[in-house]
Every structure is written in C-alpha cells, then in structure tokens.
C-alpha cells in the first residue's frame, strides 16, 4: 500500500514534469514562431487583399458599365454616366508636370549635400530642412497653398487674362512639386553618395573642374538610381490626395488650359466617395483600383531599377 | 647633373591642427623615376597629393612652403591646369565604368569639353595605349568597357589615361598594391620604359620595388624627409641609420 | 575650351546649384512663418478646452486633439507588434525567397495611395458594420505605419553584431529566448525610432480617415463611433467659408505641426543617443 502510493506519486510527478516541459516548449518557441508567421502572412496578404477587395467592390460597375467608361469623358452620376478619362488624364498630367518641375531642385539639393568641400553647417541645415519638408502633413500644405499660393495665382491669372480662380491645375502642380522634392532629393542624395570616391578623384586628377566631374562622372554613374528615385516620386505624386484636393478646383472634365480647375482620381474620390452609393460608389472604387494598379506598377519598376543600380 | 623639374621647399602640411609633413625639401630630377618610400603613415601619400593639389578636394589640409614646377609656383596656377600637367595614378585601378576603353583614354579631354577630331583622338588613343603596352592586347575591343579588363590591364589603362594629357610628371600612389606579382612586374617594366617620356614620382612601401625601379630615392619617416639621393647610394651606403634600418627590413 | 571659360562655367554652376537648393527649402519656411503668424493668434485656452461649435459660438479643437491622440496611439498599438514580428521574420529567414517577397511587399505597401487605404478599410469595416468608427481609422493608419516600422526593425536587427547573436545561441538559448533576451533588448532604440517616425507621419494623415473615422463635432471616447482628428478638422474648416473656422484651423495646424516636429526630433535624438 505504501509502495503503491509512492509509485503513484512518483509517476504523477513524472507526468507533471513532462507536461510542464512540453508546455514550456510550446509556450515559448512555438508561440513566438507562430506569431512571426501570422504577422508575415498578414503583411503579405495586405497587397493581395487590397486588389481583391477593390476588384470585388467594383464588380457591379464593371458588369453594368464596364471598361468602356475609361474612354468616355462625361462624368454624371445622376444619369449613370461614368466617363473616367478626364481624371486619369489629369492624374498623369499633374504628377508628370510636378515631377519635371521638381527635377532641377531635387538634383541641386542632392549635389549640394554631396559636396565634400561644402560648408558642413549649411549642409546640415539643408538636410534637416529637407527632412522637415517631408514631415509636414499634406493637409497643411493644402491649407497653406489655398490661403497664400492661390491669391498669387489669381494675380497671375488676372495679368495673363484668365479667369481669376486661384485654384486649379497650376496651383496643384506647384504644391505637388514642393511636396515630392524631399522624397526624390532624398533618393538622389543616397545614390550620389554611392558613387565611388576613386572615380571622382580620377576625374579631378585629370584636371577636371567640379562641374565637369559632376556632369561627366557623378551623374552618369548615379543615373539609374536617380531615375529610379524620380519614378518612385512619380508613384508618390500619383496618389497624393489632400493637398491636391484642396487646390485643384473640383471640376469633372478635361482641363482646358494650365489654369483650369480639374480633378485627379484621388481628389474625385475624396470629394465624392462619402455621398456616393450603389453604382456611383462602385465606379469610384473601380477608379481607385486603376490608381492602385498604376501606382503598384510604377513602384515596382522604380524599386527594380533602384535595386539594379546598387549592384 | 640632370635638370630639376620640380622643387619642393620647406613644405609643411597640417590637417586639423595635426602636422603631417615637416619642412620637406626635395628636388625631383626630370625624366627619372624618383621613389618616395617609408613606413605606412609616414606622409608619403600626403606629400604626393600636395604636388598636384589633390589634397584640396577632400579634406581641409593646410600647406606652408613652396612647390615649383619648372620654376613656377604651383599655388599660383589653377589646380585644374596643374593637374593636367601632373597626372596621377591611384592605388586601385579606377577606369570610368560608364566609358569604353577608347573613351577612358581620352577622358581627360572630353571631361573638359575639349573637342578633338577623329584623327587626333585615334592618334592619342593609339599612342597612349602603345606607351603602356596595351595596344596589341585591346586594339580589337577598344569600344568595350574598361572594367572588363584584368586588374593589371586596368591599371595600365589608367596610366594611359594620365599619359594621354602629355603631362610633365605622373604621380603613382602605390600603383601595384592591388595587383598580382605578374601584373606588378609588367607595371614595373613599363615604368622603367616610360621614364624616357615623362618624369615619374612613385610612392611605395615595398622596399624591393623601390630598389628595382628607382633612379632616386626619398626616404620619409614620421613626416620628415630623412634622406634623399641616388638609389644605388641609398641602398649601398645610406647616411642615416633610420634609412638603413628601414631598407634592412627592421620596421614597416 | 580655355581654363577661364571652364572656371567661369564651374562658378556659374556652383552658384546655380546653391540658389536652387535654397529656393527648394524656402517653402518650408514660408509655411512655418505663415503658420506661426496665423496660428499664434488662434492659440488660446478655448482651442484646447472647447469642442467644435457652430459658427458664432466660439468653439475649440479639444475633440480633434483627443481624437488624434486616441486614433494614432491605437494605430501604433496595432501596427507595432505586427511590424516587429514581420521584421523578425524577414531577419530570421533572410536567405529565403519568402523574405525577399516580403521585402518587396513592404515596399509596395508604402507606395499604396493613402486614399485607397481609406476605401479598402471602409469596405472591410465600415460598410459591413454600417457605421464609421475610430477603430476603422486606426486600422487604416496602422496599415500606413507598417512599412516604416518593418524597415526600421530589419535595419536595426541587421546592425546587431553576428557575434552577439551567435554567442547566445552557442550558450544553448532557444530561438525564443535568443530573441526576447538578446535581440529585442538590443534593438529597442532602433525600433522605437521607426515607430516614432511612423507615428509622426500618421498623426498628420487625412485621406485614410475621410471614409473611416469620418470626423465628429462632439467629444467622443468610444472607438466604435466616429471620431474627429486634427487633420480632419483642418480639412473641413479650411474649405468652409467662415473666417472664424479658418482661424481655428490655423491654430489646429500649429498644434499638429508641433506634434509632428516633436516626434521627429525625439526620433533623431534617440538615434544620436543610441549611436554614441
């Protein structure tokens, strides 16, 4: 009897011990590993989830109206007319123009920042300012542009004989240019830094000036990285919403001139989505899907070129 | 006695309040190989870089004293002009990766926006590549990138690039330190042949190399020029005990 | 070309580059100056103690300030564990294809237009539940925050000396012990920096909240109901025709930019402190 009790005690102690060690293993290593897998799966699923969600939600629209709407130019939800071409056109126009306009500024500031003989104080000032520009919220850029930039544009329009509206394509392009400079300048700065010092020195040792070294050695070396930076900035400006929405003038047709009010895909969505329902909402979601696909492709291309340039 | 092409007088170099060279005096004979040798950290490269003012590009080094090129103070010249007359070859080969072999040779001209006729370009490329013994090896792939060549060939291309400017002097900063023995031997043979055309100033910490190629030796130790004289004399009867210690391999 | 012309070109180029560089950052100072000028006069006790009121009743921005805090902090709480775990995953399996795909995915997420995030979260949470909510806003902002935090986590982990990592494994530490006792404690400052920068970015975001948190003129602490934030207030008031509301919006902008700058400075401070 005594023996049996002891045996049971020993056995159960063993079992408890074994159980505890299994539990410990399960608790720590397994749970952490599972958490890592779940998180990674969630992140992997986001992009796919986005595309699928938007596809499903724009199905109504595609079924009843279809892709042909991309070619039409009349947008009137009341009569179920959803011509999307003006918005796609304006989106690409606004971001290309601001990208072109930003190039000299981005390159200049990247060159200033990579000058090894430059004033260190000035360089850190430029650097910090650039970081802060990237941190200013979009809505504040829009608000500022609405109250200080658009009165100036109005003056310009009066001088040139246009209707003095202040808001429109031109104002949107200016704000967007200011907003994407920190981004493209940041990438240019990094790729210029990657150009080997020895090549620069080889240029100087042949008697070249700094301008000649930058033009014929540094820029050609950093070319693909800089282009990738511009493509990535383009991706960013395509989807920029708030500042553009606030100053582009909310007009649902092709812009007639550079000062015309217009709408990009994102400003159209920001302006109309909350009041939209049914087919109208589905149409807006379809436009969102188009925007998403364009930006994903642009970003993929940019990342691909950037990766190649770092080899 | 040979004529002197470059004279360095009482040269002091400071970097961040830290003195690197102390009262260096040196006369470099024309169309000879003069080697600056010494243990690492003795200021060899700094001395070389002050001669074509390359030190001005990266750091804020400050210099005192005079350097005369054919009697003319180099600090009164434009650095760009000076560097066209005093070329430089670096430790590791650095041909421009975005240019072909042909373009690399004439890079000194194209960088400066100097337009040459096709005939002139061809002539310069062939002459420069022949001088470095590369012509036969690359004449069929002149328009391929220079970076496809072997290390030794790349370094000879860089020498050709410097020679193309028809400089008075070329400075070589440990040009064989990244090369294998065979390539090193080729470069050394090349230097001994080139001295008929151009004055060569070589920096090396390799004593054997210095003894093989030099006409004159300057021994630099802790920023001071300890001894200068014909190579044969330095290697047989050095005056300074430090020189003797160094060439007998006691340090560095 | 003579050396004189070449030198002249060099000089002109240098001046031009300098001029364009200064011109580039000029808007930042115009914005800051204008914000201080217009916002300072709007800064008063009402702004931070009263909630939104109709025109003529001298309201404030208290509801938006509190809303910004709640929604951004909730987003951080959602995004940080997911991002850190994903970062650990990418790091642990860095030689595997799946990590390369994850890296690309993270890059792609950071490129998704913010308004699209708003639409998708609307379709995921607002439409099925039939109501706008602060929680849906936080989810939208959390998605925006993930790329930044994942990247900074991976970068931090890569900086930990291999010796340290292997030392603890060599001592027989388990996978989890190695992570919780060695790797994570070493990388907290780096991860925190990423979180703060991400927080600074989402605190100023408007577009993802338009169709999710929606905005609310009343003070609301319930995350299942619509909630206001500073950016939403600025957007709505800026486009209103009332000068009184514009003034509140300038005050709100000043507060918002102050929050964003503080977060950025804090992040930089941690980086500099950590590097030492």
Give yes or no for residue A99 having a pLDDT over 90.
yes
Sign of the C-alpha dihedral computed for residues A125, A131, A136 and A141 taken in this order = positive
Question: For position B200, which CATH number holds?
Answer: 3.40.50.300
Q: Model confidence over A211-253: pLDDT tens digits?
A: 999 999 999 999 999 999 999 999 999 999 999 999 999 999 9
| A111 and A230 share one domain | yes
pLDDT of residue C74: 97
Sign of the C-alpha dihedral computed for residues A117, A121, A124 and A126 taken in this order = negative
pLDDT of residue B126: 96
CA distances from B123 to A246, B130, B142 (A): 64, 10, 13
Main-chain dihedrals φ then ψ at residue A76, nearest 5 degrees:
-145, 95
CATH ID of C63-275, from 3.40.50.10710, 1.10.8.100, 1.10.3720.10, 1.10.10.10: 1.10.3720.10
Total number of domains constituting chain A: 2
Q: What is the rounded distance in angstroms from the CA atom of residue B142 to the CA atom of residue A295? A: 42
State both tokens at B102. Answer: 């042909």
Tell me, yes or no, if A138 comes closer than 8 A to chain C by beta carbon. Answer: yes
| A107 and A170 share one domain | yes
CA distances from C229 to B161, C43, C126 (A): 64, 17, 18
B239 contacts B223 by C-beta, under 8 angstroms? no
Tell me, yes or no, if A213 comes closer than 8 A to chain C by beta carbon. Answer: no
| A194 and A52 share one domain | no
- Please give the share of chain C, as a percent, with pLDDT higher than 90: 76
Q: Find the residue in B nearest to A198 (Cα).
A: B94
Q: Model confidence over B209-237: pLDDT tens digits?
A: 999 999 999 999 999 999 999 999 999 99
Which residues are B200's β-sheet partners? Answer: B33, B170
Confidence category of residue C186, pLDDT binned at 50, 70, 90? confident
Question: Does C7 contact B112 at a Cβ distance shorter than 8 Å?
Answer: no
Residue B3 DSSP class: P
DSSP, residue by residue, C179-201? IIIIIHHHHHHHHHHHHHHHHHH
What Rg, from alpha-carbon coordinates, does chain B have? 18
Q: What is the rounded distance in angstroms from the CA atom of residue B128 to the CA atom of residue B110? A: 16
Q: Is residue B232 part of a domain?
A: yes
Q: What is the rounded distance in angstroms from the CA atom of residue A270 to the CA atom of residue C211? A: 9
Q: Is residue B202 part of a domain?
A: yes
First-to-last C-alpha distance (Å) of chain A: 78
pLDDT of residue A36: 93
Tell me, yes or no, if A120 comes closer than 8 A to chain B by beta carbon. Answer: no
For residue B48, the tally of other CB atoms under 10 A from its CB is 21
Show me where the domains of chain C are located. Answer: 63-275
- Please give the share of chain A, as a percent, with pLDDT higher than 70: 91
| A132 and A235 share one domain | yes
Q: Is residue B59 part of a domain?
A: yes
Vertex C207 angle, CA C201 and C211, to 5°: 130
Confidence category of residue A3, pLDDT binned at 50, 70, 90? low
- Which residues does A285 contact at the CB level (< 8 Å), separation at least 6? A54, A57, A58, A61, C119, C123
Beta strands in chain B (DSSP E): 4-15, 18-29, 33-37, 62-69, 72-73, 86-89, 169-173, 199-204, 216-221, 224-230
State both tokens at C30. Answer: 């115009």
B49 contacts B15 by C-beta, under 8 angstroms? no
Interface of A with C in 73-92 (CB under 8 A): none
| A42 and A75 share one domain | no
Residue C224 DSSP class: T
Inter-helix orientation angle C134-159/C184-203, to 10°? 140
Pairing of β B4-15 and β B18-29: antiparallel
Tell me which chain A residues have a C-beta less than 8 angstroms from the C-beta of C9: 209, 211
Dihedral of the alpha carbons of A173, A177, A180, A182, in degrees to the nearest 10: -160
Residue A6 lies in domain? 2-57
Give yes or no for residue A16 having a pLDDT over 70.
no
| A30 and A137 share one domain | no
3-state class (DSSP) for residue B180: coil
Inter-helix orientation angle B151-163/B181-194, to 10°? 20
Q: Model confidence over C4-26: pLDDT tens digits?
A: 999 999 999 999 999 999 999 99
For residue A310, the tally of other CB atoms under 10 A from its CB is 12
Residue B236 DSSP class: H
| A53 and A70 share one domain | no
ipTM tops the 0.90 cut:
yes
State which of A33, A57, A81 marks the end of a domain. Answer: A57
Give yes or no for residue C185 having a pLDDT over 90.
no
| A41 and A141 share one domain | no
pLDDT of residue A292: 97
Low-confidence ranges of chain B (pLDDT < 70): 1, 59, 250-252
Q: Is residue B37 part of a domain?
A: yes
Q: What is the rounded distance in angstroms from the CA atom of residue A34 to the CA atom of residue A55? A: 30
Percent composition of chain B: helix, strand, coil (DSSP 3-state, to 5): 40, 25, 35
Average pLDDT of every residue of chain C: 92
pLDDT of residue A14: 56
Q: Which partners does chain A have (≥3 C-beta pairs < 8 Å)?
A: B, C
| A119 and A231 share one domain | yes
pLDDT of residue B40: 83
Q: Is residue B147 part of a domain?
A: no
Give yes or no for residue A55 having a pLDDT over 80.
yes
**Chain A: nearest CA to C50, how far in angstroms?**
22
Dihedral of the alpha carbons of B229, B231, B236, B239, in degrees to the nearest 10: 20
Give yes or no for residue A13 having a pLDDT over 80.
no
pLDDT of residue A118: 84
| A292 and A182 share one domain | yes
Give yes or no for residue A290 having a pLDDT over 80.
yes
State both tokens at B160. Answer: 């050709």
Pairing of β B62-69 and β B33-37: unpaired
Residue B223 lies in domain? 4-92+168-247
Q: What is the rounded distance in angstroms from the CA atom of residue C239 to the CA atom of residue C255? A: 19
Taken as a whole, chain B contains a residue count of 252
Q: What are the residues of chain C with a beta carbon less than 8 Å away from any beta carbon of chain B? A: 1, 3, 6-7
Confidence category of residue A296, pLDDT binned at 50, 70, 90? very high
Tell me which chain B residues have a C-beta less than 8 angstroms from the C-beta of A216: 107, 110-111
Tell me, yes or no, if A131 comes closer than 8 A to chain C by beta carbon. Answer: yes
pLDDT of residue A254: 95
Q: Model confidence over C95-144: pLDDT tens digits?
A: 999 999 999 999 999 999 999 999 999 999 999 999 999 999 999 999 99
pLDDT of residue C182: 84
Q: What is the rounded distance in angstroms from the CA atom of residue A131 to the CA atom of residue A278? A: 42
B51 contacts B85 by C-beta, under 8 angstroms? no
Candidates B202, B147, B215; CA nearest to B176 is B202
Question: Does C7 contact B113 at a Cβ distance shorter than 8 Å?
Answer: no
Q: Is residue B124 part of a domain?
A: no
Can you give the three-state secondary structure of chain A, one letter per residue?
A: CHHHHHHHHHHHHHHHHHHHHHHHHHHHHHHHHHHHHHHHHHHHHHHHHHHHHHHHHCHHHHHHCCHHHHCCCCEEHHHCEECCHHHHHHHHHHHHHHHHHHHHHHHHHHHHHHCCCCCHHHHHHHHHHHHHHHHCCHHHHHHHHHHHHHHHHHHHHHHHCCCCCCCCHHHHHHHHHHHHHHHHHHHHHHHHHCCCHHHHHHHHHCCCCHHHHHHHHHHHHHHHHHHHHHHHHHHHHHHCCHHHHHHCCCCCCCCCCCCCCCCCHHHHHHHHHHHCCHHHHHHHHHHHHHHHHHHHHHHHHHHHHHHHHCC
Give yes or no for residue A18 having a pLDDT over 70.
no
CA distances from C151 to C105, C147, C148 (A): 11, 6, 5
pLDDT of residue B198: 95
Q: Model confidence over C163-179: pLDDT tens digits?
A: 887 787 778 778 888 88
Q: What is the mean pLDDT of residues A9-25?
A: 55
| A11 and A113 share one domain | no
State both tokens at B250. Answer: 């006691």
Question: Does C119 contact A54 at a Cβ distance shorter than 8 Å?
Answer: yes
Q: Model confidence over A22-36: pLDDT tens digits?
A: 555 557 788 888 999
pLDDT of residue A2: 52
Tell me which chain C residues have a C-beta less than 8 angstroms from the C-beta of A112: 17-18, 21
C238 contacts C264 by C-beta, under 8 angstroms? no
Q: What is the rounded distance in angstroms from the CA atom of residue A81 to the CA atom of residue A84? A: 9
Average pLDDT of every residue of chain A: 90
| A274 and A192 share one domain | yes
Of A212, A217, A220, the CB nearest to B112: A212
B223 contacts B20 by C-beta, under 8 angstroms? yes
Question: Does A216 contact B82 at a Cβ distance shorter than 8 Å?
Answer: no
- Please give the share of chain A, as a percent, with pLDDT higher than 90: 80
Question: Does C89 contact A291 at a Cβ distance shorter than 8 Å?
Answer: no
Q: What is the mean pLDDT of residues A124-146?
A: 95
Q: Model confidence over A41-54: pLDDT tens digits?
A: 999 999 999 999 99
A289 contacts A51 by C-beta, under 8 angstroms? yes
């Amino acid at each position: 009897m005594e023996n049996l009790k002891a045996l049971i005690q020993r056995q159960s102690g063993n079992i408890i011990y074994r159980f505890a060690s299994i539990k410990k293993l399960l608790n720590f290593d397994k749970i952490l590993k599972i958490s890592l897998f779940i998180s990674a799966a969630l992140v992997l699923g986001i992009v796919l989830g986005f595309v699928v969600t938007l596809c499903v939600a724009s199905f109504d629209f595609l079924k009843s109206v279809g892709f042909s709407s991309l070619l039409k130019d009349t947008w009137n939800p009341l009569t179920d007319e959803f011509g999307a071409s003006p918005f796609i056109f304006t989106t690409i126009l606004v971001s290309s123009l601001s990208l072109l306009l930003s190039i000299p500024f981005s390159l200049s500031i990247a060159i200033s920042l990579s000058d090894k003989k430059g004033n260190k104080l000035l360089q850190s000032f430029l650097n910090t300012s650039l970081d802060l520009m990237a941190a200013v919220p979009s809505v504040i850029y829009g608000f500022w542009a609405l109250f200080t930039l658009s009165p100036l544009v109005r003056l310009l329009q009066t001088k040139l004989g246009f209707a003095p509206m202040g808001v429109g394509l031109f104002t949107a392009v200016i704000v967007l240019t200011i907003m994407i400079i920190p981004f493209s300048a940041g990438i240019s700065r990094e790729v210029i830094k990657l150009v080997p010092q020895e090549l620069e020195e080889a240029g100087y040792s042949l008697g070249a000036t700094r301008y000649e070294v930058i033009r014929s050695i540094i820029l050609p070396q950093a070319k693909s990285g800089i282009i990738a930076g511009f493509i990535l900035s383009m991706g960013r400006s395509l989807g920029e919403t708030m500042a553009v929405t606030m100053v582009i003038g909310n007009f649902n047709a092709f812009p007639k001139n550079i000062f015309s009010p217009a709408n990009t895909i994102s400003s159209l969505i920001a302006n109309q989505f909350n009041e939209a329902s049914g087919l109208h909402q589905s149409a807006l979601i379809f436009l969102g899907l188009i925007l998403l696909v364009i930006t994903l492709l642009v970003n993929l291309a940019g990342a691909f070129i950037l990766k190649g340039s770092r080899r | 006695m040979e004529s002197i092409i470059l004279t360095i007088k009482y040269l002091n170099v400071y970097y961040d309040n830290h003195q690197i060279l102390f009262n260096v005096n040196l006369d470099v004979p024309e169309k000879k190989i003069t080697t600056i040798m010494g243990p690492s950290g003795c200021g060899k490269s700094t001395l070389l870089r002050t001669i074509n003012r390359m030190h001005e590009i990266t750091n804020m080094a400050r210099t005192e004293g005079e350097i005369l090129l054919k009697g003319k103070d180099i600090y009164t010249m434009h650095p760009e002009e000076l560097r066209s007359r005093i070329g430089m070859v670096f430790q590791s080969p650095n041909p421009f990766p975005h240019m072909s072999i042909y373009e690399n040779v004439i890079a000194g001209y194209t960088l400066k926006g100097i337009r040459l006729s096709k005939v002139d370009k061809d002539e310069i490329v062939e002459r420069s590549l022949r001088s470095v013994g590369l012509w036969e090896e690359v004449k069929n792939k002149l328009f391929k990138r220079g970076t496809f060549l072997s290390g030794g060939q790349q370094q000879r291309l860089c020498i050709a690039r410097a020679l193309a400017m028809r400089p008075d002097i070329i400075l070589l900063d440990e040009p064989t330190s990244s090369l294998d023995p065979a390539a090193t031997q080729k470069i050394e043979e090349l230097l001994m042949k080139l001295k008929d055309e151009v004055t060569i100033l070589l920096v090396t910490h390799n004593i054997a190399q210095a003894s093989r190629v030099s006409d004159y030796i300057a021994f630099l130790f802790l920023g001071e020029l300890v001894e200068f004289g014909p190579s044969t004399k330095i290697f047989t009867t050095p005056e300074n005990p430090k020189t003797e210690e160094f060439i007998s391999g006691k340090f560095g | 070309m003579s050396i004189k012309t070449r030198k002249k070109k060099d000089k002109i180029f240098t001046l031009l580059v300098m001029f364009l560089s200064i011109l580039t950052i000029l808007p930042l100072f115009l914005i800051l100056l204008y914000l201080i000028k217009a916002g300072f006069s709007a800064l008063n006790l009402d702004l931070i103690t009263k909630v939104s009121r109709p025109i003529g009743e001298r309201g404030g921005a208290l509801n938006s300030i509190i809303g910004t805090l709640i929604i951004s902090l909730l987003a951080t709480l959602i995004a940080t564990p997911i991002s850190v775990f994903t970062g650990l995953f990418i790091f642990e399996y860095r030689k595997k294809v799946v990590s390369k795909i994850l890296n690309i995915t993270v890059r792609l997420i950071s490129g998704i237009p913010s308004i699209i995030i708003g639409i998708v979260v609307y379709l995921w949470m607002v439409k099925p539940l039939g109501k706008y909510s602060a929680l849906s806003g936080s989810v939208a902002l959390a998605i925006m925050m993930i790329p930044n935090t994942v990247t900074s986590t991976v970068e931090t982990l890569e900086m930990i000396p291999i010796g340290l990592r292997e030392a603890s494994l060599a001592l027989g530490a388990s996978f989890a012990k190695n992570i919780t006792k060695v790797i994570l404690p070493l990388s907290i400052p780096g991860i925190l920096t990423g979180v703060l920068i991400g927080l600074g970015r989402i605190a100023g975001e408007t577009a993802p909240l338009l169709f999710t948190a929606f905005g609310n003129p009343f003070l609301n602490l319930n995350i299942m109901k619509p909630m206001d934030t500073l950016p939403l207030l600025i957007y709505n008031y800026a486009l209103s025709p009332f000068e009184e509301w514009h003034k509140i919006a300038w005050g709100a902008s000043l507060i918002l930019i102050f929050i964003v700058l503080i977060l950025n400075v804090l992040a930089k401070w941690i980086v500099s402190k950590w590097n030492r």
